[in-house]
Amino acid sequence: MEVTLLHYTPLLICSNAIRTCWQSFDKSDEGGDKDKELIDRVGNKFKHASTLEHLHYNFFIKGISRALLQELARHRMASLSVKSTRYTLKELKKEAEFTLSDLQRAKKYLVFTDTDIVNEMSIIALENLRKVLLSGISNDKAKYCLPESYKTELTWSTNARSLQNFISLRSSKSALWEIRELAYSIYKALPEDHKYLFKHCIA
């Protein structure tokens, strides 16, 4: 998978929102160490986490499975714009037949696990989907044949409070292996001066 941070809110916006409550603008150091400590103290230590909602992050996420997408959709305080199967399944029509020996070629479309039989059944499902598309059935109906391992991509926007919750839950060893990898990749993609807000969330 690939995770790219496209845009984020400067820390000064959050510290300014916090200082609005106490009218302490004169103590700001324009997003420097004093403001960073204020955000951590109020947002994390004092548990006024609503102040963290002023920080927004926008990511481009590529090469995840639809199984992961389904789990990602459970994090409701976020916005998702996902690659459309209605308009993009036509790319599969141009492919030659997929066989069980086509592991590398199938990786263009599928996320593979560490279990051979699951990967083999995904390739068979991919080939079945290709056949359905070639038969002339519309993409809207053909997509019901999509395997959960089928790759997709999306733009994902969330705020810092929701992102803390996401990283806390999804970096856990009990989380789906793929979404755990995503949680770590998102953390790594964050701006260096923002990571301190999320470090305690990493399982």
Residue boundaries of the structural domains of the chain: 2-64+69-79+152-201, 85-148
pLDDT in tens, the chain (203 residues): 999 999 999 999 999 999 998 888 888 888 788 989 999 899 888 878 899 999 999 999 999 999 999 999 999 889 999 999 988 898 999 999 999 988 899 999 999 999 999 999 999 999 999 999 999 999 999 999 999 999 999 999 999 999 999 999 999 999 999 999 999 999 999 999 999 999 999 97
Q: Fold for 2-64+69-79+152-201, please state it.
A: Gyrase A; domain 2 (3.30.1360)
- Give the pair of three-digit tokens for residue 125: 């499902």
Catalytic residue list: 170
Residue type, 38: L
The model carries a pTM of 0.92
Among the listed residues 6, 112, 20, 133, the one whose alpha carbon sits nearest the alpha carbon of residue 59: 6
In what side-by-side order are the strands of the sheet with 56-65?
A: 2-8, 56-65, 151-159, 78-82
Instruction: Scan for tokens 């996320």, then name that residue.
Output: 111
Strands (E), the chain: 2-8, 56-65, 78-82, 151-159
